[in-house]
Structure 1
Amino acid sequence: MTTPGSPVALRASDAERETVAARLRAAAAEGRLTLTESDERQTAAYSAGTRDELVPLTADLPEPRPDPPPRETPRGPMTANARRRFAAHAAVVAVLAGFLVTGWALGPAPFFWPMWPLFWLGVSLVVHHRRARRVPAVNPEGP
């Protein structure tokens, strides 16, 4: 029981214990802790009852690196001109695919040889779609 005016030690959550244990595992993987030290500290982390018990377990370790920023920002829809160009590209690919499959079906080839040109035609569509001009995305968080 605590008396009025005395500091209260806050209980540690499972997520806080797991965060400390993950830092300890990372430190062991980097060679900053031996396996014995890592095991002892992880045991202490998982058995910690308060946040104050977790602090000394990582006090002599460097701060973790921040997560890198996301590689891709949200993209908006394609512009009208980009949609027209992409539709034309897709139509050409569809016509070529029809000719290739028809040629294979009517020919003497024992295997489905059009798979190779169809693969590259499909890749060209994916690349076109990824590189198409787009309307700037609206950021819901504001400027």
Structure 2
Amino acid sequence: MSNETWSGPKRLRTSDTEREQIAGTLRAAMTEGRLTLEEGEERLAAAYAAKFRDELGPLTADLPDAGRRAPVETPELRRGLARHATVVLSITAILTGLWILSGAHFFWPIIPLFFLFMGLARHARRGHWEPRYSYQHRVAPWNR
């Protein structure tokens, strides 16, 4: 035995969730054309083979915003925004019709419509609908 005491591991081990998060970022970069198929496959293999967190960081370091999220506008996202706008406009028409039928002097639909249009504006600004407090979309600590 040596006189040195073990102070624990110097490196933190990575989890399957962290590996999957990096793999998702790499797949998105491949889809966007930021990585070639060969380079993407190499990085994916390295991500799944990684045992420690510090091995994952370099895999996305040269991607936009260190691989956190690259702005993407796809036809699917545009369709999602169009569907969201259609739902908001339909609800607007229904609430306005109910207001007319009720004969109320105060335009009470303004209250729910405010929140509906704020959600639509947020969707349009971000390009996709993402809950404000989602634990699934957290950025890994080594990518901050």
TM-score range, shorter chain: 0.3 to 0.5
Per the normalisation by structure 2, the TM-score is: 0.45
> Which protein has the bigger helix share?
2
From the CA coordinates, give the structure whose radius of gyration is larger. 1
